[in-house]
Amino acid sequence: MSERPTVGFIGVGLMGHGMAMNILKGGYPLIIKGNRNRVPVDDLVSRGATEAPTAREMAERCDIIHLCLSNSPQVEAIIRGHDGILAGARAGLIVVDTTTADPTSTVRLAEEMAAQGVHMADAPLGRTPKEAEAGTLDAMVGASDEVFGRIKPVLDCWSGSVTHLGPVGAGHKMKLIMNFMAMSYASVYAESLSLAVKSGLSPQSVRQVMGPSRMGCGFFETFFAAALGDDPNAHRFAISNAAKDVRYVANMAMAAGVMNPVGAAVRNYFEQAEATGKGAEFVPTLASHVAALNGIDFADAVQNGTQNSAVQRVSAAPDAESTSKTR
């Protein structure tokens, strides 16, 4: 492989655009595959990227290809398809899959690719599109030591933290553990807010008490900022993606022979929300969805909580006359 390998990128969307942009900034020749949304594609081309019409042509020209797609079926199609990566791959090509994918699929693909002399690495992402643009994402990597050494300089272009966890599949497994924990938190937050409101507490009081405690965390802050209306875009992760991820967690648990009853409950929350047409909404809207199942208008509860908080602030402020009489 040359000192500056040619890098391909398929999936230059919400996360992929920033990653690809930072690969360009790192000085690597970049080839991208376009999609229906031309805005990020045209932007990257204006910055010096070239565009390939098919994954097959990209594979013929690249040393390393990044994938940043929505799910494992998309990854399988782009690798195995008639004009897919394997149709044009040369021996020694490395495919870096940053998709949050099913590790059982990842391992099968890696075996197929190895038979053709193509290497697989999984490097799913932690953090948000903001960090993708800044080049400070977290990367959880599954790859052989040799492949990891070859791809790490490219990963460093778009990540602030790179952790090599083990062989192929290890990165996707860790990402599912992370998302299982996160979506479990989201489900508990949503259910707790309904319980609080039905019991006469305001959503704001839950945030006020829990946020500064040991139960507070970055996920808590972004979930509540979005759920309570401070910043609807504070946690930009779609319910459909969450539902997909917890389904993959179930597959992972079955493959490992591990009981996963909490995972089943979390999966039911997200699949029910997705089935009722809320898949495109962001995860914190789960609070409103669960509230509706409990006969609660969550928007009204938030509004009432805001008004009551304002009244409490006014009544708690001492006036000048009463203050002077106590001196």
**Which residue out of 173, 175, 244, 278 is catalytically annotated?**
175
Domain boundaries in the chain? 7-167, 173-314
- CA distances to 88, 220, 325 from 285, rounded to whole Å, are 43, 14, 49
C-beta separation of 65 from 16 below 8 A: no
Q: What's the pLDDT at 306?
A: 86
Let me know if the fold of 7-167 is the same as that of 173-314: no
Express each pLDDT in 176-187 by its tens digit. Answer: 999 999 999 999
- What DSSP character marks residue 66? E
| Coil vs helix vs strand at 65 | strand
Burial group, residue 48, by CB count within 10 angstroms (0-12, 13-18, 19+) = exposed
- Residue 313 pLDDT greater than 60, yes or no: no
Among 251, 192, 203, smallest CA distance to 227 is for 203
Architecture of domain 173-314: Orthogonal Bundle (1.10)
**CATH entry 3.20.20.105 includes domain 7-167:** no
Q: What's the pLDDT at 315?
A: 47
- Residue 242 pLDDT greater than 80, yes or no: yes
**Cα distance between residue 89 and residue 95, in whole Å:** 10
For residue 309, name the pLDDT band (cuts at 50, 70, 90).
low
**Cα distance between residue 7 and residue 1, in whole Å:** 11
Average pLDDT, the chain: 93
- What DSSP character marks residue 90? P
For residue 151, name the pLDDT band (cuts at 50, 70, 90).
very high
Q: What's the pLDDT at 323?
A: 45
Express each pLDDT in 52-62 by its tens digit. Answer: 999 999 999 99
Express each pLDDT in 285-305 by its tens digit. Answer: 999 999 999 999 999 999 999
End-to-end CA distance of the chain: 81
Radius of gyration of the chain (CA): 23
**Cα distance between residue 89 and residue 101, in whole Å:** 22
| Coil vs helix vs strand at 224 | helix
**Cα distance between residue 325 and residue 201, in whole Å:** 35
The proportion of the chain whose per-residue pLDDT surpasses 90, expressed as a percent, equals: 89
Q: Which long-range contacts (CB under 8 A, 24 or more apart) does 161-168 make?
A: 161/126, 161/136, 161/137, 163/138, 163/139, 165/140, 165/141, 166/142, 167/142, 167/143, 168/106, 168/107, 168/110, 168/120, 168/121, 168/122, 168/142, 168/143, 168/144
- Residue 229 pLDDT greater than 50, yes or no: yes
Express each pLDDT in 165-204 by its tens digit. Answer: 999 999 999 999 999 999 999 999 999 999 999 999 999 9
Among 81, 241, 84, smallest CA distance to 175 is for 241
- CA distances to 12, 72, 77, 180, 251 from 96, rounded to whole Å, are 14, 13, 15, 23, 22
- Residue 254 pLDDT greater than 50, yes or no: yes
Could you confirm whether 175 is annotated as catalytic?
yes
- Residue 222 pLDDT greater than 80, yes or no: yes
Q: What's the pLDDT at 137?
A: 97
Among 110, 235, 262, smallest CA distance to 172 is for 110
Report the largest interatomic distance among the alpha carbons of the chain, rounded to a whole angstrom: 88
